[in-house]
Structure 1
Amino acid sequence: MLRIDFNLVLTIINLIVLYLILRKFLFRPVMDIMEKREKMIADGISHANEEQDKAHALKKQYEDALNGAKEESTKMIEQAKLDAKQEYNQILNEANEKADKVMKTARESLNQEREQAFDDMKAQVAGLAMDAAKKILLENADNISGADAYDQFLKDAGDSHDSEE
């Protein structure tokens, strides 16, 4: 049967006292440390999640700003291209107008010079004709007929004209 002896009771009392002492001085501090550690880890995780959310929000904000800057730079480039094309067309039109004015002035000058040269030639031919006619009439007034006088005039006018060139 079961015998309970005094050593067994003392051992049980020692175990209970040991348990109470361990509970008071070891288990509670260890449990408190573990609870504090668990709380610190939970706070760290929640803080990390908050920081990650902030980082995602900041990243989205930067991406939006970057996209806006890209769109703005694209618009600026397009506007610059349009401005450059307008300026190119304006310069080209001005250059064409100046070239047309220069060409018109040159044509007018050429026409004036041509008319002046033609007038000078007329005056020279008229002068030569007069000189030739005078010469012919003075030299051959008695013995030349009208047709012969004309032929002689043309011959003398041609010789005088050839000698001046």
Structure 2
Amino acid sequence: MLSLGWGLIWTIINLIVLYLLLKKFLIGPILGIMEKRKTLIAQQLENARTTEGKANELKGQYEMAISGAKSQSAQIIEEAKADARTLTERTVREANEQAARILENARKTAEQEKENALAGAKTEIAGLAVEAAKKMLAGGSEAGSRMLYDTFLAEAGDADDRES
């Protein structure tokens, strides 16, 4: 049968002591380290979740800011286009008005020069007619009158050529 001897009892006591020593010096610290690691990992996971939440919140804010900036830039571009159209229309209108004024001034100047030329021609013709009348009264002969008439016509023609 089974004999319980002192060797078996010492072996059981040695196993119990070894178990207690291993539990105290090996298993206990290992379990403590594992518990600390578990706590540390849980804290890091919680920090990661918090950081991820903040990152998502910031991402949302940035996306809103970007969409706001896009709409604002589109509005600024439209305003700039409208200002450019207004400026272009105003510039064209002012250029047309200035061109109309220049044309009107040119017409007035041409009309004035025409009137001045006509007045000068009338004065010169009147002077030639007076001169011819003087010569006719002084000369009296028909040949002299004809010569005077031809001279008058020649001088009147020269006066017209000079004004043209």
What TM-score, normalized to structure 1? 0.81
What residue is the counterpart of 1:123 in the other structure?
123
- The amino acid that maps onto 1:89 is E
Q: Are residues 1:87 and 2:87 paired? A: yes
Question: Given the superposition, is the C-alpha separation of residues 76 and 29 from structure 1 closer, same or farther in structure 2, using an over 3 Å criterion?
Answer: same
1:20-39 correspondence runs (5 A): 20-39=20-39
What residue is the counterpart of 1:78 in the other structure?
78
Aligned length: 160
Question: Given the superposition, is the C-alpha separation of residues 163 and 86 from structure 1 closer, same or farther in structure 2, using an over 3 Å criterion?
Answer: closer
Question: Which deviations, in whole Å up to 9, do the C-alpha atoms of 1:58-102 show, x marking residues without a partner?
Answer: 123123212322321222122122212212221222222122112
Gaps of 5+ in 2: none
What residue is the counterpart of 1:49 in the other structure?
49
What residue is the counterpart of 2:156 in the other structure?
161
Alpha-carbon contact 1:129-1:153 (below 8 Å) kept = no
What residue is the counterpart of 1:3 in the other structure?
3
- d(CA) in 2 for partners of 1:47, 1:125: 114
- d(CA) in 2 for partners of 1:130, 1:112: 27
Gaps of 5+ in 1: none
Shift of 1:4: 2.5
- d(CA) in 2 for partners of 1:135, 1:154: 10
What TM-score, normalized to structure 2? 0.81
